[in-house]
């Protein structure tokens, strides 16, 4: 699929993206973090510290404070004597998985809602548009905390699923509104009328003619939803309403480390740095994709 010029962007956009050095750096960073997360069992094996296992004898000082980075604990221990490196790696799995899953779910729901609202118009549009307005207007954290405390879920999988759903619900509306606006523009383009003139049913027109023309925007918005979802998960877990302990996530580690950080800086520095690097790289990459699609991104 080559060929540039008006309307056909993928070839030239890909070339522009590959020339973008910030994008290359961001992609390399994300790749490193992903490898770090994937190899979590390996770190556990090498250090001899399973993720949730506590080693108070070696990890804590005589006065009960956690020990800093050493040959035994490369990135220090936490107040229970668990290995921060191993937990950060396992936490990366949770944070990345929740972020990506929630962003994909939000993209799916937002694209569906925005496309139906924009193309159908009328009462359906009014209904979906108000739903999206409502999702945007609700105070996210308050509602998320209320949901988490109302549904007392104790299983690890359940808390993960609920976290993903909550994040997706509060993220889909922003994307859905953009998609709706874009569909309204695409709908007025002559080739849609040409498709109607051939007798094509609405569902076919949406799939064949409308969606491919909003796909680029959806891709960009989704790539920007991922870091937002990761931060959202971190916020929820930090507040104790995200993933359930002892399951690690960067947000949960930040929350657990907060109390002891005056004497143990690594408790905040390690998950904080990872979170910062990940969101920064995601945002840079998303911006680079948008820039690469460049002046044609409206097409």
| Binding region for another protein (CB under 8 A) | 3-8, 189-191, 193-201, 204, 208-209, 212-213, 299
State which residue, 142 or 203, has the beta carbon closest to another protein.
203
Query: End-to-end distance of the chain based on CA atoms, in angstroms?
Result: 17
Nearest approach in angstroms of CB 197 to another protein is 5
Nearest approach in angstroms of CB 218 to another protein is 13
Nearest approach in angstroms of CB 185 to another protein is 12
State which residue, 5 or 295, has the beta carbon closest to another protein.
5
User: How far, in Å, CA of 232 to CA of 291, rounded?
Assistant: 25
User: How far, in Å, CA of 23 to CA of 215, rounded?
Assistant: 20
User: How far, in Å, CA of 86 to CA of 42, rounded?
Assistant: 9
Q: Which residues, other chains included, contact 111 with Cβ-Cβ below 8 Å and sequence gap of 6+? A: 175, 176, 179, 211, 214, 218
State which residue, 45 or 196, has the beta carbon closest to another protein.
196
State which residue, 64 or 201, has the beta carbon closest to another protein.
201
Nearest approach in angstroms of CB 5 to another protein is 4
Q: Which residues, other chains included, contact 148 with Cβ-Cβ below 8 Å and sequence gap of 6+? A: 162, 166, 236, 241, 242
Neighbours of 280 (CB within 10 A): 14
State which residue, 122 or 190, has the beta carbon closest to another protein.
190
Nearest approach in angstroms of CB 214 to another protein is 10
Count Cα atoms within 13 angstroms, Cβ side, for 38. 6
Nearest approach in angstroms of CB 96 to another protein is 31
Residue keyed to tokens 């973090």: 33
State which residue, 151 or 191, has the beta carbon closest to another protein.
191
């Amino acid at each position: 699929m080559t060929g540039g010029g008006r309307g056909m962007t993928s070839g030239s956009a890909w070339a522009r993206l590959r020339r973008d050095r910030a994008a290359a750096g961001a992609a390399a960073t994300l790749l490193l973090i992903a490898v770090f997360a994937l190899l979590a069992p390996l770190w556990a094996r090498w250090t001899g510290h399973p993720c949730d296992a506590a080693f108070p004898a070696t990890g804590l000082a005589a006065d009960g404070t956690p020990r800093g980075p050493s040959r035994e604990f490369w990135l220090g221990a936490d107040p229970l004597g668990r290995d921060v490196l191993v937990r950060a790696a396992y936490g990366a799995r949770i944070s990345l998985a929740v972020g990506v899953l929630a962003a994909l779910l939000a993209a799916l729901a937002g694209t569906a809602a925005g496309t139906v609202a924009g193309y159908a118009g009328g009462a359906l549009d009014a209904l979906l548009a108000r739903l999206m307005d409502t999702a945007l207007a609700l105070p996210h954290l308050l509602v998320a905390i209320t949901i988490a405390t109302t549904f007392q879920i104790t299983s690890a999988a359940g808390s993960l699923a609920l976290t993903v759903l909550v994040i997706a619900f509060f993220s889909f509306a922003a994307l859905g509104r953009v998609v709706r606006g874009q569909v309204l523009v695409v709908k007025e383009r002559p080739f849609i009328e040409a498709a109607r003139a051939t007798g094509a049913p609405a569902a076919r027109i949406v799939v064949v003619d409308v969606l491919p023309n909003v796909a680029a925007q959806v891709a960009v918005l989704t790539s920007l939803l991922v870091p937002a979802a990761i931060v959202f998960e971190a916020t929820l877990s930090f507040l104790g309403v995200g993933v359930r302990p002892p399951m690690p996530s960067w947000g949960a580690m930040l929350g657990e480390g907060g109390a002891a950080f005056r004497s143990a800086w690594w408790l905040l520095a390690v998950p904080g740095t990872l979170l910062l690097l990940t969101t920064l790289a995601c945002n840079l990459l998303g911006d680079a994709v948008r820039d690469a699609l460049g002046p044609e991104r409206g097409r």
